[in-house]
Structure 1
Amino acid sequence: MNIIPEPLSGGSRLSYDYIHHYDQVSPFYGGSPWEPAAWKQRADWLSQSYGRYISRSALAGCLRSYNDYVHNTHVEVHKSLELLEKEDALVIAGGQQSGLFTGPMLVIYKAITIIQAARKAEAMLGRPVIPVFWIAGEDHDWDEVNHTYLPARDQGPSRIRMDSEGASRTSVSYTPVSRTQWDEALKEIQQLLEDSPFKKDVLDVLQRASKHEELSGAFAQLMGELFGKHGLVLMDSADRGLRALEKPVFEQLITRSDALTDAYKRAAGELESLSYEVQAEVHPDGANLFYVHEDKRLLLFKEEGRFTDRKGLVSFSEEELLDELRAYPERFSNNVLTRPLMQDAVLPVLGTVLGQGEISYWAITRHAFQELELQMPLILPRMSFSLVSPTLPKWMDKYNVSFQDIVQGLGEQRSRWLEEQDEVGLSDRFQETKAAFTALYEPLLQDLGRLQPGLMRLGEVNHGKILEQMDYLLDRSRLALEQQHRAALRQWDCLETELMPLGRPQERVYNVFYYLNRYGMGLIDQLLSLTYDDTGQHRAVYL
Structure 2
Amino acid sequence: MKIIPETLRGGSALAEDYIQGTGRASDLYEYNVLHADAYAQRAKWLDKTGHLRLNRKDIVACLRIYNEKYNSYEAVRASLDRLESPDALVVAGGQQSGLFTGPMLVIYKAATLIKAAREAEERLGRPVIPVFWIAGEDHDWDEVNHTYVMANDPQAVKIKLNKQPERRSSVSAIKVEAVEWKQAIADIEQSLPDSEHKADIMRMIENGLTDSYGLSEAFAKLLGLLFGTYGLVLLDSADPSLRKLEASVFKQLVQHNDELEQAYRTTAARIVDYGYHLQADVHEGGANLFYIHEDERLLLFKKAGLFTDRHGLVVFTVDELLEEIDRHPERFSNNVLTRPLMQDSLFPVLASVLGLGEIAYWAITRDAFGVLEMQMPILLPRMSFTLVEPGVEKHMLKYELSFGQVRDGLEERKKQWIATQDQLGMQDQFSGAKEAFVRMYEPLVQQTGLIEKGLLPLGETNRDKILAQIAYLEAKVQEALLRQNETALRQWDRIEWSLFPFGQPQERAYTIYHFLNRHGLSLIDMIMSVPLDLTGTHRVIYV
- Fold conserved between structures, TM > 0.5: yes
Give how far 1:297 is off. Answer: 0.5
Range 439-448 or range 372-381, more displaced:
439-448
Over 3 Å counting, the alpha-carbon distance change for 1:438 and 1:23 in structure 2 is closer
> Partners in 1 of 2:23 and 2:15 — Cα distance?
13
| 1:185 alignment partner in structure 2 | 184
Q: Is the Cα–Cα contact under 8 Å of residues 261 and 287 in structure 1 kept in the other structure? A: yes
Q: Is the Cα–Cα contact under 8 Å of residues 98 and 145 in structure 1 kept in the other structure? A: yes
Task: Give unpaired runs (5+ residues) of structure 1.
Answer: none
Give how far 1:47 is off. Answer: 1.3
Give how far 1:23 is off. Answer: 6.9
Give how far 1:68 is off. Answer: 1.6
**Alignment partner of 1:369 is 2:364:** no
Counterpart residue identity of residue 150, structure 1: V
> Partners in 1 of 2:18 and 2:479 — Cα distance?
49
Give how far 1:87 is off. Answer: 0.3
| 1:332 alignment partner in structure 2 | 332
| 1:495 alignment partner in structure 2 | 495
Structure 1 SS opposite 2:325: helix
| 1:323 alignment partner in structure 2 | 323
**Alignment partner of 1:394 is 2:394:** yes
**Alignment partner of 1:243 is 2:243:** yes
Counterpart residue identity of residue 426, structure 1: M
Q: Is the Cα–Cα contact under 8 Å of residues 92 and 133 in structure 2 kept in the other structure? A: yes
| 1:197 alignment partner in structure 2 | 196
| 1:209 alignment partner in structure 2 | 208
> Partners in 2 of 1:60 and 1:517 — Cα distance?
35
Counterpart residue identity of residue 428, structure 1: D
Structure 2 SS opposite 1:191: helix
| 1:163 alignment partner in structure 2 | 162
Give how far 1:126 is off. Answer: 0.6
Over 3 Å counting, the alpha-carbon distance change for 1:23 and 1:42 in structure 2 is farther
**Alignment partner of 1:7 is 2:3:** no
**Alignment partner of 1:509 is 2:533:** no
Structure 2 SS opposite 1:36: coil
| 1:140 alignment partner in structure 2 | 139
Over 3 Å counting, the alpha-carbon distance change for 1:456 and 1:23 in structure 2 is closer
Give how far 1:165 is off. Answer: 3.7
> Partners in 2 of 1:130 and 1:22 — Cα distance?
30
4+ residue runs over 6 A deviation? none
> Partners in 2 of 1:291 and 1:495 — Cα distance?
46
> Partners in 2 of 1:170 and 1:143 — Cα distance?
12
> Partners in 2 of 1:166 and 1:337 — Cα distance?
26
Give how far 1:174 is off. Answer: 0.3
> Partners in 2 of 1:391 and 1:165 — Cα distance?
39
| 1:269 alignment partner in structure 2 | 269
Structure 1 SS opposite 2:415: helix
Counterpart residue identity of residue 180, structure 2: Q
Give how far 1:392 is off. Answer: 2.1
Q: Is the Cα–Cα contact under 8 Å of residues 165 and 177 in structure 1 kept in the other structure? A: no
| 1:354 alignment partner in structure 2 | 354
Q: Is the Cα–Cα contact under 8 Å of residues 53 and 249 in structure 1 kept in the other structure? A: no
Counterpart residue identity of residue 31, structure 2: G
Structure 1 SS opposite 2:444: helix
**Alignment partner of 1:473 is 2:473:** yes
Counterpart residue identity of residue 505, structure 1: P
Give how far 1:522 is off. Answer: 1.3
Q: Is the Cα–Cα contact under 8 Å of residues 22 and 32 in structure 1 kept in the other structure? A: no
> Partners in 1 of 2:17 and 2:160 — Cα distance?
37
> Partners in 1 of 2:433 and 2:440 — Cα distance?
11
Aligned residue-pair number: 542
> Deviation per CA, 1:254-303, whole angstroms, max 9, x where unpaired?
01110000000010011111111111000121000000111110000000
> Partners in 2 of 1:386 and 1:313 — Cα distance?
46
> Partners in 2 of 1:439 and 1:189 — Cα distance?
60
Give how far 1:36 is off. Answer: 2.9
| 2:382 alignment partner in structure 1 | 382
Q: Is the Cα–Cα contact under 8 Å of residues 53 and 347 in structure 2 kept in the other structure? A: no
> Partners in 2 of 1:435 and 1:23 — Cα distance?
56
> Deviation per CA, 1:123-179, whole angstroms, max 9, x where unpaired?
000100000000000000000000000111123111101122443200000011011
Over 3 Å counting, the alpha-carbon distance change for 1:155 and 1:398 in structure 2 is closer
> Partners in 1 of 2:114 and 2:381 — Cα distance?
13
Q: Is the Cα–Cα contact under 8 Å of residues 21 and 32 in structure 2 kept in the other structure? A: no
For residues 69-468 of structure 1, what are the structure 2 equivalents within 5 Å? 69-70=69-70, 72-210=71-209, 211-468=211-468
| 2:25 alignment partner in structure 1 | 25
Q: Is the Cα–Cα contact under 8 Å of residues 116 and 528 in structure 1 kept in the other structure? A: yes
Structure 1 SS opposite 2:290: strand
> Partners in 2 of 1:148 and 1:405 — Cα distance?
26
> Partners in 2 of 1:163 and 1:191 — Cα distance?
17
Give how far 1:437 is off. Answer: 1.5
> Partners in 2 of 1:122 and 1:510 — Cα distance?
32
Counterpart residue identity of residue 528, structure 1: M
> Partners in 2 of 1:458 and 1:22 — Cα distance?
68
Q: Is the Cα–Cα contact under 8 Å of residues 91 and 118 in structure 1 kept in the other structure? A: yes
Give how far 1:450 is off. Answer: 3.0
Structure 2 SS opposite 1:246: helix
Structure 2 SS opposite 1:196: coil
> Partners in 2 of 1:499 and 1:445 — Cα distance?
53
> Deviation per CA, 1:479-528, whole angstroms, max 9, x where unpaired?
11111111111111111111111100000011101111100111101110
Task: Give unpaired runs (5+ residues) of structure 2.
Answer: none
Structure 1 SS opposite 2:321: helix
> Partners in 2 of 1:23 and 1:90 — Cα distance?
31
Over 3 Å counting, the alpha-carbon distance change for 1:276 and 1:165 in structure 2 is closer
Counterpart residue identity of residue 48, structure 1: K
> Partners in 2 of 1:385 and 1:61 — Cα distance?
35
> Partners in 1 of 2:54 and 2:369 — Cα distance?
17
> Partners in 2 of 1:468 and 1:155 — Cα distance?
34
- The two structures have a TM-score, normalised by structure 1, of 0.98
Give how far 1:50 is off. Answer: 2.2
Give how far 1:22 is off. Answer: 4.8
Give how far 1:439 is off. Answer: 2.2
Structure 1 SS opposite 2:471: helix
Give how far 1:452 is off. Answer: 2.5
**Alignment partner of 1:527 is 2:527:** yes
Structure 2 SS opposite 1:453: coil
Counterpart residue identity of residue 175, structure 1: I
Q: Is the Cα–Cα contact under 8 Å of residues 53 and 348 in structure 2 kept in the other structure? A: no
Structure 2 SS opposite 1:282: coil
> Partners in 1 of 2:154 and 2:490 — Cα distance?
10
Counterpart residue identity of residue 427, structure 2: S
Over 3 Å counting, the alpha-carbon distance change for 1:63 and 1:99 in structure 2 is same
> Partners in 1 of 2:446 and 2:124 — Cα distance?
92
Give how far 1:469 is off. Answer: 1.8
- The two structures have a TM-score, normalised by structure 2, of 0.98
Range 431-440 or range 19-28, more displaced:
19-28
> Partners in 1 of 2:391 and 2:183 — Cα distance?
32
Q: Is the Cα–Cα contact under 8 Å of residues 306 and 315 in structure 1 kept in the other structure? A: yes
Q: Is the Cα–Cα contact under 8 Å of residues 33 and 379 in structure 1 kept in the other structure? A: yes
> Partners in 1 of 2:250 and 2:484 — Cα distance?
66
Give how far 1:353 is off. Answer: 0.2
> Partners in 2 of 1:279 and 1:453 — Cα distance?
66
Structure 1 SS opposite 2:438: helix
Q: Is the Cα–Cα contact under 8 Å of residues 177 and 213 in structure 1 kept in the other structure? A: yes
